[in-house]
Amino acid sequence: MDILHYFIMALLGFIGSFFSGLMGIGGAIINYPLLLFVPHALGVAEFNAQEVASMSMFQVFFASLAGMLAFRKKGKDYALINKDLVLYMGSSILVGSLAGGFLSKYLHAGLINILYGSLAILAVVLMLIPVKGKAIDAENHLSFSKIIAVSSSFLVGIVSGIVGAGGAFILIPIMLTVLAIPTRVTIATSLAIVFISALGGIIGKLTTGHIPALPTLFVILGSILGAPIGSRISSKMNVRALRYGLVVIISFTAIKVWWSILFL
């Protein structure tokens, strides 16, 4: 790796992490296509789907950790991390991501891309369904279906472990649309859930051997810097703008991934 390669990998990690803090996503919905296409387009490196999935999982882990800690430093924002949601959805997504990370080594790269693109389309559809969030009391108590929360997060965990994502790009639409969780609570809480998911995914990815060490290291360095900046901006943004910003990001990613599957 030369200096340009180092810089590009760190910059890609920073971009994914920035949107992690801004939107409450792990960043893989951004970083997966960036890592897959940008280094190759610039002629500095070329990674296959398994390597990109592994780098994305490490990026998600550190980006969600940095974003979560950034929220914790601000009292009113930290209160938006709902502990019940983290307990039920975090534990089940952890089990799912462990299984998915282990299973990923048996899947063809093309199948991983198809799975990723399909999830992105589903996420966009869910995000476009108008739903009013439930009320939350002063003690941060929120009613939601525990069965749906546990089962949906387990399935998301399996898929996210396979594609190397924390799962927030599909978890957030489920929380907003199916569970009707308020937007700001969803964004803050999803970072904590995705952190748990990424922990399981990393353990699973370590069994695959598809981890390019130096590129992953620089992606991580960029990730640590971007999330705190994104979280600060997120707290000042309009809720509607955050929601539709997610729709745009996920839509663009779905188009790019499916274009590569069908025409490249």
CA 174 to chain centre: 13
Q: What length does the chain have? A: 264
Given a contact cutoff of 8 angstroms between Cβ atoms, the answer to whether 112 and 163 are in contact is yes
Q: How many domains does the chain have?
A: 1
- Which residue type occupies 252? F
- 142 pLDDT tier (thresholds 50, 70, 90): confident
Range of the domain at 211: 3-263
C-alpha–C-alpha distance, residues 96 and 105, integer Å: 15
CB 8 within 8 A of CB 220: no
Which of 13-17, 109-113, 244-248 is modeled with the greatest confidence?
Answer: 13-17
> Using one digit for the tens of pLDDT, what is the confidence trace for 101-125?
778 778 777 787 788 778 778 878 8
Q: According to the model, what pLDDT value does residue 136 have?
A: 57
Q: What pTM value is reported for the model?
A: 0.72
